[in-house]
Amino acid sequence: MSLILSRRDMDFLLFEWLDVEGLLTRPRYAEHDRETLNAVLDLAQQLAEDLFAPHNKMADANEPRMLADGAVAMPAATKTALDALSASGLLAASQSTDVGGMQLPFVVDKAAFAWLQAASAGISGYALLTMAAANLLIEHGSAEQIERYAKPLLQGRFFGTMCLSEPQAGSSLGDIRTRAERDGQGAFRLFGSKMWISGGEHSLSESIVHLVLARIDGAPAGVKGLSLFIVPRDLPTAEGGSERNDVTLAGLNHKMGQRGTVNTLLNFGEGQSRPGGESGAVAYLVGREGAGLSAMFTMMNEARISVGASAAALGYTGYLHSLDYARQRPQGRPAGAKDATSPQVPIIRHADVKRMLLAQKAYAEGALALNFYCARLVDDLRTGPEAESAAVSGLLDLLTPIAKSWPSQFCLEANALAIQVLGGYGYTRDFNVEQFYRDNRLNPIHEGAHGIQAIDLLGRKVVIGQGAAFEEFQRRVARSCKQARALGGEESEHASAVETLLAAVVETTAVLHAADDPELTLANASQYLEAFGHLTIGWIWLEQLIAAHGKVGDFYDGKRAAARYFRLWELPRTGPMLALLSSLDRTTLDLEPAWL
């Protein structure tokens, strides 16, 4: 049994629940059949087992180092794994054939990639950024930019970065200061510092393509003044070689987890790296001036869903590792056992350990399923009926902060439970689970911190377009509940719990927005995100229950047990949260900083 992910569960989610085979009737996917999809999933699993998982610990222990010449040293195994991934063609799996892709369904692409995310969050981080950078350029770049940058990214010859954050501008992107000057020949020169840039310098690929948000001189303050630029690390010379652009590695950040991915502070336009001292990093505008943030959102939204998938994958692998341990670790006897000389039982026999395993299963399988659901929406957006695309796109937008944040919170909790299952051993570096926790701890922070996602959900996503996306969500939940009711039994009970919670979330949303005071409405947004997330995962578990209906065997019984756990142990937690929200509690809002 693989301890990375469960292929059995993946097959259930993709083929028994999300009807991915049904997608293959659409012209874009006509070249594929179940066998080709299986082959891609097999390939990803193989790469994960052979080249990613075995080096995960080593890449963590040997974090990247900055050398005197500004280069970055890291273990050779990282390059070996990423070279193999590039050679496999998986970086372009869901892309069109005209850019070198395989036109696989997006959901299969994301399922394949989840193997690598679970096997090594640190090593797979470069690929995540590279795929997202290529997507952004394909959507917003010119034909020439696609040719020069997106295609090499998809081949893995170049790797990508996203350069938004600055020391003074993390959550608040409107405060970005990096400047762009026109160079008089249609391009720009950039000056400024970017903080926290993952994959900002390395020798894993031929070159690096930085996608940078900057403010063109004279542009308005705030996010409306931001434009998006390609800043290649290397520029071609007239002689056919290449020289360094004016991008300098100022230092590395030393992280708690995900140490396989180098994290950098980059300076643009210091004039140190270009021959002749000519300064300013050569940059090419992508899309329209002033439309940088909305273009960057293509990359950020993809990255947010990928971050959620990474959190789910880490939660999942932690669950499987602790499950494996619990089956083997003898300790203690059943509560009623009288004979002190009887053999110890494996800890999986103790109810409290089973609780910790079942909670992990409910969190991790629920989170991965939600991320696959979102990826399936991307397929519907690309290839589904035109008439439904506005509804699908709105729903995807609404679900994005949840798909990013709920796994980041609850699969981190799953990793904490995995450590607990291993007891003292879990707290040591001799086992893997402590690393999963550290790796996962990043996910509520980057790509929009947890609190920012909460404000996005409550402040924008549920009300945008007069609440159209929220209504689509309600329609879909109601449809699942109706289906479940027709099945009766546990499915019907689960539907009732989800319906009750949905009604409470709808009511709380109305109360919060009726306050007509943005500060008060958003004061407790994180609680709202958690409650909405639980509703969403409760619905996703209902969907899985329906897909498992009438099927027999341990696998399906396990699905039913996890759904039951979520209904009986998790959903009731949301009642007090929603009551607190509806009371428009001002405890945090009125708190004076001096009182802390």
231 binds ligand FAD (CB under 6 A): no
Question: Which residues are 194's β-sheet partners?
Answer: 266
Helix (H) or strand (E) holding 158: strand 158-163
CB of residue 418 to ligand FAD, shortest distance in Å: 22
Name, in order, each residue with C-beta under 8 angstroms of 553's C-beta and a sequence gap of 6 or more.
none
Helix axes of 554-565 and 525-548: crossing angle, nearest 10 degrees: 150
Residue 322 to residue 326: CA distance in whole angstroms: 6
Of 339, 403, 319, 321, nearest in space to 369 by CA: 403
**By C-beta, is 107 or 162 nearer to ligand FAD?**
162
**Among residues 219, 445, 468, 487, which is the contact residue for ligand FAD, using CB under 6 A?**
445
The answer to whether residue 451 forms part of the interface with ligand FAD (CB under 6 A) is yes
CB atoms within 10 A of CB 96: 13
DSSP 167: T
Which residue lies nearer to ligand FAD by CB, 129 or 547? 129
Q: Does 520 bind ligand FAD (CB under 6 A)?
A: no
| Site for ligand FAD contains 511 (CB under 6 A) | no
459 near ligand FAD, judged by CB under 6 A: no
Closest distance to ligand FAD from the beta carbon of 423 (Å): 29
Site string for ligand FAD, 185-224 (x = CB under 6 A): -----------xxx--------------------------
**Residue 271 makes contact with ligand FAD by CB under 6 A:** no
Angle at 235 between CA 229 and CA 238, to 5 degrees: 135
Written as one string, the DSSP assignment of 174-187 is: GG---EEEE-SSS-
Interaction of residue 235 with ligand FAD, rule CB under 6 A: no
Answer for which of 78, 263, 409, 509 binds ligand FAD (CB under 6 A) is 263
Helical H segments across 191-279, by residue range: none
Min. distance of Cβ 458 from ligand FAD in angstroms?
12
The distance of closest approach from Cβ of residue 229 to ligand FAD in the complex, given in angstroms and rounded to an integer, is 13
The answer to whether the CB of 395 falls within 8 A of the CB of 476 is: yes
Which residue in the shown chain puts its C-beta closest to ligand FAD?
A: 170
Nearest CB to ligand FAD, comparing residues 189 and 259: 259
**Is residue 162 near ligand FAD by the rule CB under 6 A?**
yes
Query: Contact region for ligand FAD (CB under 6 A) — 68-76, 333-341, 386-394, 442-450?
Result: 442-450
Kindly determine how many residues on this chain lie close enough to bind ligand FAD according to the rule CB under 6 A: 19
Q: How far is the CB of 263 from ligand FAD (least distance, A)?
A: 5
Position 82 contacts ligand FAD (CB under 6 A): no
254: left (phi over 0), alpha (psi -120 to 50) or beta: beta
Q: What is the distance between the alpha carbons of residues 165 and 229, in angstroms, rounded to a whole number?
A: 14
**Is 588 among the residues that bind ligand FAD (CB under 6 A)?**
no
Cβ of residue 212: shortest distance to ligand FAD, in angstroms? Answer: 9
The reply to whether 447 belongs to the active site is: yes
Annotated catalytic residue within 166, 434, 447, 472: 447
Pairing mode, strands 242-244 and 234-236 = antiparallel
Q: What angle do CA 203, 258, 410 make, to 5 degrees?
A: 150
The residue within the footprint of ligand FAD, chosen from 7, 24, 80, 170 (CB under 6 A), is: 170
Which class for 88: exposed (0-12), middle (13-18), buried (19 or more C-beta within 10 A)?
middle
Q: How far is the CB of 59 from ligand FAD (least distance, A)?
A: 14
Q: How far apart are CA 18 and CA 130, in angstroms?
A: 27
The binding site for ligand FAD (CB under 6 A) comprises 161-165, 170-171, 196-198, 255, 263, 442, 445-447, 449, 451-452
Cite the active site residues. 447
